[in-house]
Structure 1
Amino acid sequence: MHKILLSWAFGLMLSLPAFSFQSEECNCATVFEEVVKGVEANYLPLKLKGTGINAGAYQKRIANFRSSIQSVSPEKCSESIQEFLNFFEDEHLFVFEQPEYTDDQLEGFKTKIKASKIEKQQLIDDVLNYRGKEKLVGFYWDGTSTLAILPKGDLLEVRIIESTNELVESGEMKASFKATPENYFGTYYAYNYAPRYIEGGLYKQYSLFSLNGGIRWKKIKPADLKKDLASFNDPTLPYFTDLSNGVTVFTIPSFSADYQQFISILTENVPLLQRTTDLIFDIRGNTGGNAIYFSFIDAYAKQNLRSSQGRVLASEPTQVYFERLAKNSPEIYQPVVNRIKEHMGEVVDGPAYPERTYKPSTDFSFQKVAILTDEGCMSAAESFIIHSKAVNPNIQTFGKPTAGVIDYTSVNAIPIPSGKRNIYFGYPTSSLHMDIPKNGFNKTGIVPDITISKNEKDPIQFIVDFWKN
């Protein structure tokens, strides 16, 4: 599938291992060699038959990058190594960085950004007067600020219009991106002015910009700029829309949303769901997160979720990953740890997830359930589709094929010696099931039961009309 970036990979342990003492300098050539070793030692598809990985082409790619990486600066290191990893076309194989800066460095970034401000009304006028074809151009809300995105030479600049953060000012730079046919990449400035490398994709009919790190920017209308910022909702959180006549839309932009807030919103809308006969899940642009969907899947389940098991490549980092999981669920993960210890470097059976028992709900009476998807759905969003259809075969999927980032899952991240750049290498620990790469989804995505044309202006209404007919 084409290049799309994750918010946070499904199953990624967010309590990342701490870096031990290291030099402040980042030598990208050294980082590259460590990543190559990491791929060789941990990446399951390299050990499986039938994956289609061209070993000769991969070795040639290593040689080419080994030559060019010598001159790459620390600031460009993550970008260059991610380009190297793109060979595998697996969005669960990646690097990301969490750079550390001194107070003086942060003050320097801040001074430079404030010195290059653009007048607020000029930003607004420039967006309104834009007549080009770049779909990313427009106004957005990131949960803290309203933003304007405009072309600037060969880049796309993101600047703040208004913010609830009192430390920032209108017209300040928030990010800059380079557009490619597949995605966007560039530099993102946190609200303390710390820059880092970032990638993202534009989904949901060009209305949702999903960036790695769990960041979501929702496109807003020019009239929305006149609203009080307090009236905007967090763009990562789910929301419900009552279409009347028993039809409800449950929009889930991300499965990496705050769990407590997610459950709170779900609980508040139970009365609406109890009146609902036709339920539509809109997960377009949902690039993943965690298996938070198990908190509500029982509401429409009709049968049990069958047991499942995949495979794992035994390595020391993967052993540590499953040891962490075994602390809470030893009956599932400790056997995996034992197999890894006994067969280091080999492919072993992964976690055996037991059957989940479900009975038809007496609290809800959904007659129809649909899931609306697009090319931005990946990882946990794809897992949600698979599990939902497994417990309720009558569920229909509409829209476009998903991204195809699910065959290799349960992502672990390990630190790579990289000075103050704090670069991490992420990789999938497990296969979706025992037969992978056969009967997988990474090559095609999850193809919907009913395809909706990209020219369809209102996919939600399309589903409603489809059900009526």
Structure 2
Amino acid sequence: MKKIIFYLLLLFPFYNLQAQNCNCGDNFSFMVQHIKKNYVGYADKINQKTQKRFEYLTDSLQKVAHNTGSNKCIAVCREWLGFFKDGHMNISFNESSPKDEIRDFFSKEEKTIWNEEKLKSHLAMHKGQTDSIEGIWTNVSNTTKLGIVRDSLNHNEFIGFMIKYNTAMWAVQQVKFRAKKTKGIYTFTSFLARDHSPYPARVSLNKDTMDLKEIGKFYKNDLPKNTSYSSLNPKFKKLDDKTALITIPSFYLDYKNETDSLMIKNASILENTEHFIIDLRNNRGGAVGAFEKILPYLYTNPIFSEKGQILATDDNIKDGYEKPLPDLPEDLQEYFKKIISKLKAHRGELYLAYPADTIKYDKIFKKPSRVSVLMNDGSASASELFILQAKQSKKVKLFGTNSSGSVNYVESVTTQMPCNFFNLIYPAARLMRASNDGTDLGIKPDVEIPADTADWIDYVKKYKTKQHYLKSVAAIRIAATFTNPIDALSFLSSNPVDLIFLDIHMPEISGIDFIQTMNNKDAQVILTTAYKEFATAGFDLDVVDYLVKPIPLPRFLQAINKAQKIINTKKIQTPLNQQDDDYFMVKTEAKGKMLKINIAEIDFVEGMKNYIAFHHNGIRTLALLSMKDVEERLPKAQFVRVQKSFIVALNKITSIDGNRIILKGISAEILIGETYRKDFLDMMKQKLLL
């Protein structure tokens, strides 16, 4: 197994000592030219379709930048970078600058007349008359304190200002946000991030707790006891006898040793646990090497990792790959020295630095037998690379919402701009998948979790696959399962079935389109989805039932019973001349001759190139038919196909010995084909007396 592939997805900043120039127009021009020359995704993103839009945006924002103060320049630059829709591109503020210079840089930001003492006096004077959001709020780590007071000019609007902070970028009384209240709901009309740029923050209020979502929780007056600070440290927990959970907020190398230690410490638990949940929600990435101890527990088959290229420009080599990283292990430092040498030998090229690789392990763990990965739009970069590898396993299922879409372009380089306060960040490497996946919409989960689901962990714990339920119903034999609807349509065109379980959300076409497209109109359909709103469309297509995930077993069985009644009723109503009879006639190899075959006398059917051989009543009859023709004609309750060239009568099977079927009164043994083995043995197990 290759040990190092895209090991560092974030390369640390390299600061040039150069003359200070914080003119926004000049910094904007520098950014545009630098990205055009050095951003590895530029040629993918700027093409014939996007060129005019891109040029218009660039020209427009360049004019805006010339009239923008340096303290507001980051927002203008970020608007331009947003065109690329790349999560690895950003303008960051250099907080390593001298604190007095940082304070001076942000000294002109808006201030309010309110301060802590004045707010306390106001609250005491109007006790019982103020709004519930008014007051002094402290974050869980006690590093930031905000004051919130009603705007004197608008009764339903509020001003949030700084009282305490842990950065030189903010000063007492500076306005952090403005909010309004509509029908009891609070929303921000403006909110400034740590670097004073606009930020789309969200808020919800529950008594003395104010939840700012991604930013964290704030508490009015005193912090509650036993409140733990939500850190990026990984956590492992055994939820019950069958389920273990690991939460990994970050794949940064800072937390790799801790993640590795948790996996080693809890190895015995994992090897005796049926269900392993990996929570990667809001994991913004880090390094691929950070999850190397997790992969063995997911592994069922070789894992493919894609090729990767680096745009070998002088700037990328200098600002990204030549930057000393003394904290890296010695083997990695040697590895990067070799990479740098190769990049210099291929200056100006899109160099294939990372060949395609296949990860293989010697052992496949029986447990955990089921692995669920939780993901959302905050799962980015290295966490998406983990998801791409994990989804190749047969025991892994992805739950949640689409990931960030930040996986195609990686290995971020940090370059100092003309203004020493600004750092330009962009990727220098790309995966080959970027050539075929330019949408950057993120990785789609196997199971979408509804937006109104409060507890995702509980949802995944209770989730049962349709196959799990179907195997518990003796009357049902699974003909086939598909993740690709096009493959399913192809199968149905030549394989009649009685019942289809169908998801609404599928790749390429929806479940509704699938029903309208399929040829097998006699099959009954049960729709499954995470969204209730599609029920009407489903019933308009005359489906049997509509199941909303997670599906409780009683509700599943109710739908099965409903489908069985419809299927049985249709069979009873089928005209006699269309029903399966107890015999049929076949043309033999003798010209003009037909022979009667009694179905009850058939031992097995053998495919022989252009002919079919019926073995019945001690004789063999050849007929010019295909296996498909015979399989469709024989009663499914009495016959089963066990390999490409054999169909056997169930009532003639006397024993099964490993991979061999022994038939009554027949000396020949029939081998079970690999393609049909699982379905055949599952059918036999339903008859197994324990």
Q: TM-score, normalised by structure 1?
A: 0.73
Shift of 1:356: 3.1
- Aligned counterpart, 1:387: 389
Q: Do 2:91 and 2:424's aligned partners in 1 also have CA atoms closer than 8 Å?
A: yes
1:77 and 1:296 map into 2 onto residues whose CA distance is: 42
Kept in 1: contact 2:140–2:218 (CA 8 A): no
User: Greater Rg, structure 1 or structure 2?
Assistant: 2
Q: Deviations over 1:363-388 (max 9, x none)?
A: x8211110112222222221221122
User: Which residue, 183, 186, 190 being the options, matches 2:192?
Assistant: 186
Letter in 2 for 1:253: P
The residue that corresponds to 2:402 in the other structure is 401
Could you tell me which runs of 5 or more consecutive residues in structure 1 were left unpaired when the two chains were aligned: 1-8, 132-136, 189-194, 211-216
Q: Which amino acid aligns with 1:453?
A: P
What per-residue deviation string (whole Å, max 9, x for no partner) do you get for residues 400-457 of structure 1? Answer: 11121111111111111204x2x11111111122x423046x4321111011110122
Residue 53 to residue 222, structure 1, CA distance change in 2 (3 Å): farther
1:251 maps to 247
Structure 1 residue aligned with 2:379: 377
RMSD after superposition: 4.6
Q: Which residue of 2 is the match for residue 356 of structure 1?
A: 359
Query: Which residues in structure 2 correspond to 1:66-465 (within 5 Å)?
Result: 66-99=62-95, 100-103=97-100, 106=103, 116-117=115-116, 118-119=119-120, 129-130=132-133, 141=139, 143-145=141-143, 157=160, 176-177=176-177, 186-188=192-194, 197=197, 199=199, 209-210=213-214, 217-219=215-217, 225-228=223-226, 231-256=227-252, 258-259=254-255, 260-266=257-263, 269-270=266-267, 272-291=269-288, 292-320=290-318, 321-323=320-322, 328-329=331-332, 337=340, 340-352=343-355, 354-360=357-363, 365-390=367-392, 392-419=393-420, 421=421, 423-433=422-432, 435-439=433-437, 442-465=439-462
Over 3 Å counting, the alpha-carbon distance change for 1:452 and 1:160 in structure 2 is: farther
Matched letter for residue 26 of structure 1:
C
Shift in CA distance, 49/122, structure 1 to aligned 2, threshold 3 Å: closer
Q: What is the CA distance between 1:322 and its match in structure 2?
A: 3.6
Q: Which amino acid aligns with 1:388?
A: A
**What is the CA-CA distance between 1:11 and the residue it aligns to?**
1.0
Distance 1:84 1:125, change over 3 A: farther
Q: Report the Cα distance in structure 2 between the residues aligned to 1:272 and 1:85, rounded to whole angstroms.
A: 46
Deviation (angstroms), 1:301: 2.1
Q: 1:251 to 1:430 in 2, by over 3 A?
A: same
Q: Is the 8 A contact 1:177 1:187 kept in 2?
A: no
Looking at structure 2, the residues matched to 155 and 431 of structure 1 have their Cα atoms a distance apart, in angstroms, of 45
Change (3 A) 1:119 1:264: farther
Three-state SS of the structure 2 residue aligned to 1:376 is: coil
Residues 222, 72 of structure 1: CA spacing in aligned structure 2 closer, same or farther, 3 A cutoff? closer
- Matches of 1:233 and 1:388, distance apart in 2: 30
Cα distance in 1 for residues equivalent to 2:146 and 2:425: 32
22, 39, 43: which one pairs with 2:39? Answer: 43
The sequence identity of aligned pairs, in percent, is 20
Q: Alpha-carbon deviations, 1:145-198, whole Å to 9, x = none?
A: 47669697688737679x9x9x99xx977982589x99986242xxxxxx6658
**What is the distance in 1 between the residues matched to 2:364 and 2:112?**
55
Contact 1:113 1:172 in 2 (8 A): no
1:156 and 1:459, CA in 2 relative to 1: closer, same or farther beyond 3 A?
A: farther
SS at match of 1:34: helix
User: Secondary structure at 1:47's aligned position in 2?
Assistant: helix
The one-letter code sitting in structure 2 at the alignment partner of 1:443 is D
CA distance in 2, matches of 1:353, 1:152: 59
> Residue 223 and residue 122 in structure 1: after superposition, are their counterparts in 2 closer, same or farther (change >3 A)?
closer
Residue of structure 1 equivalent to 2:681: none
Q: Is the 8 A contact 1:325 1:333 kept in 2?
A: no
How far 1:288 sits from its partner (Å)? 2.3
Inter-CA distance 41–81: structure 2 relative to 1 (3 Å threshold): same
Higher relative contact order (CA 8 A, sep 6+): 1
User: Residue 316 of structure 1: CA displacement?
Assistant: 0.9
Check conservation: 2:369, 2:395, Cα contact below 8 A: no
| Partner SS, residue 250 of structure 2 | coil
2:604 corresponds to: none
Query: Structure 1 30/222 Cα, relative in aligned 2: closer, same or farther at 3 Å?
Result: closer
Note if contact 1:187-1:198 (Cα within 8 Å) is conserved in structure 2: yes
Q: How far apart are the structure 1 equivalents of 2:103 and 2:370?
A: 53
